[in-house]
Structure 1
């Protein structure tokens, strides 16, 4: 196997993984004894990178190594649990589900060898081989204006649009939050068993993004919500049944009218609690304690589950934040702060 560039081209990971086989060499005697006692372990075909292979030559079976594991399919939570049963417990540092599928974790040499024999594992590499270079941080505190965020609504029929009471504005926050501060206000009445409310923002070369570049994206934002914890309503709970989603795409997210005269998104955001390839679920609108109708701030982020995306030829991306509701009544929220971090890969 030829020495690969230290920056893994993540979008080509599925191609890289098909590269030639290699083998372990120069194990010390204690390693050899351990391997001989593990009849189920077969070293070839090798899915381990050359860099990781070199690292494994001089460590014990129980030594932990920062690793990244790439799959050739999506794994559900249950499948991750099944994987732990096969190779032993491990603590996931980051879980990837866009551009590539997989996770990063500190794995023992034995776990890496067991992963090497699993059919849906495509590549195992040193976690440090994914180099995080330039970092771009974009914040909006909405002190003066909406900071070029705009809004939209989807998952509702064209007929009788007025009864959905769709509303977006840049307005003062509730007094219990801070009446002197403003935020992005979204409100709508779900009458079709589903309603998606969202804000979006374009980022491009003016933010120093590069064309055709892969970025690791993390979201960190606050929503003022008045949805009481564990309350019930039509179709579900006003808190637990309204799912907060965040995503990033290289095409503008739009609500478009389909042939059935129904407004739907032109990106894959998933439906309600389900995720799509362009958006992930970060939680719900349920407040932490109070059962009244007052607002409280709730923070959402994906720091343990970064989002991977590649810019287009113009170096552009679109950020989207929103709520996907199964609660068949009114939802009104304020987005009070956003922080988007993009790390070049």
Structure 2
């Protein structure tokens, strides 16, 4: 089944829809990386030392055709990372505009993360890597702090969840054949959470993997959807 085009708007025309009784504005942002388009998502990496060399560190990101196990005629955002010396956060981020400045919204976030990792021991990638996603008024960025490339939002470390994380969980695939499997994850079990746009009418998204696995991991973001309703 083909994925939807970049952005699906829940209105007859334009971004917003209203009824005669009250403001009932809603918007759906739908990124599916169709035809290799990054849809405004930008990759970043954090947690590694400024002195890390190519023996210790490897990072690759690109939109590419999905692997076996998924629809190989469709595209996803592929993230490869390896840091042999410590924890590594590999993420993608996106800015969405057009919100009412400083206004609250109900939001449900859905992320389809494709993995081929299964739980096969205490030192496996499944035990060492945690999926995390969230939204922020601030742009998620990596900054150099005391010699470490550091993520600026509170994501927590490893399985610990920080205050800026709205969605988290296991990277485990349910396929025993180790082909890739896309798992749908929703904030708050599909129930809305409240987020507030910044004073420019922006909300920043991020989604990534927090890894203490010392070997290479490869993930595909298959689709990311956020549904908003103005309060």
Residue 34 of structure 2 corresponds to residue 143 of structure 1: yes
Counterpart among 94, 97, 108 of residue 204 in structure 1: 97
Which structure shows the higher helix fraction?
A: 1
Partner in structure 2 of residue 88 of structure 1? none
Partner in structure 2 of residue 158 of structure 1? 50
Q: Is the 8 A contact 1:168 1:185 kept in 2?
A: yes
Which structure shows the higher strand fraction?
A: 2
Task: Name structure 2 gaps, 5 residues minimum.
Answer: 1-21
Normalising by structure 2, report the TM-score. Answer: 0.83
Normalising by structure 1, report the TM-score. Answer: 0.57
The one-character-per-residue Cα deviations of 1:47-89 (angstroms, maximum 9, x if unpaired) are xxxxxxxxxxxxxxxxxxxxxxxxxxxxxxxxxxxxxxxxxxx
Counterpart among 83, 94, 100 of residue 190 in structure 1: 83
Q: Is the 8 A contact 2:92 2:207 kept in 1?
A: yes
CA RMSD between the two structures: 1.9
Task: Name structure 1 gaps, 5 residues minimum.
Answer: 1-130
Q: Against the structure 1 CA distance between its residues 161 and 247, is the aligned structure 2 distance closer, same or farther, given a 3 Å change threshold?
A: farther
Counterpart among 113, 121, 134 of residue 232 in structure 1: 121
Residue 67 of structure 2 corresponds to residue 181 of structure 1: no
The one-character-per-residue Cα deviations of 1:230-266 (angstroms, maximum 9, x if unpaired) are 2136xx33123311111100111001111x2101111
The one-character-per-residue Cα deviations of 1:299-325 (angstroms, maximum 9, x if unpaired) are 111143544322111101101111111
Q: Is the 8 A contact 1:241 1:284 kept in 2?
A: no
Residue 202 of structure 2 corresponds to residue 316 of structure 1: yes
TM-fit CA distance, 1:132? 9.1
Q: Is the 8 A contact 1:223 1:298 kept in 2?
A: yes
| Count of residue pairs the alignment pairs up | 207
The one-character-per-residue Cα deviations of 1:130-150 (angstroms, maximum 9, x if unpaired) are x99422111012113111111
Alignment map for 1:1-345 (pairs within 5 Å): 133-144=24-35, 145-162=37-54, 163-205=56-98, 209-228=99-118, 230-232=119-121, 236-258=123-145, 260-290=146-176, 292-304=177-189, 306-345=192-231
Could you tell me how far apart the structure 2 residues matched to 1:187 and 1:244 are? 14
TM-fit CA distance, 1:329? 1.6
State which structure, 1 or 2, has the greater radius of gyration over its C-alpha atoms: 1
Relative contact order (alpha carbons < 8 A, sep ≥ 6): 1 or 2 greater?
A: 2
Could you tell me how far apart the structure 2 residues matched to 1:132 and 1:155 are? 43
Q: Against the structure 1 CA distance between its residues 306 and 155, is the aligned structure 2 distance closer, same or farther, given a 3 Å change threshold?
A: farther
Q: Against the structure 1 CA distance between its residues 307 and 265, is the aligned structure 2 distance closer, same or farther, given a 3 Å change threshold?
A: farther
Could you tell me how far apart the structure 2 residues matched to 1:300 and 1:161 are? 34
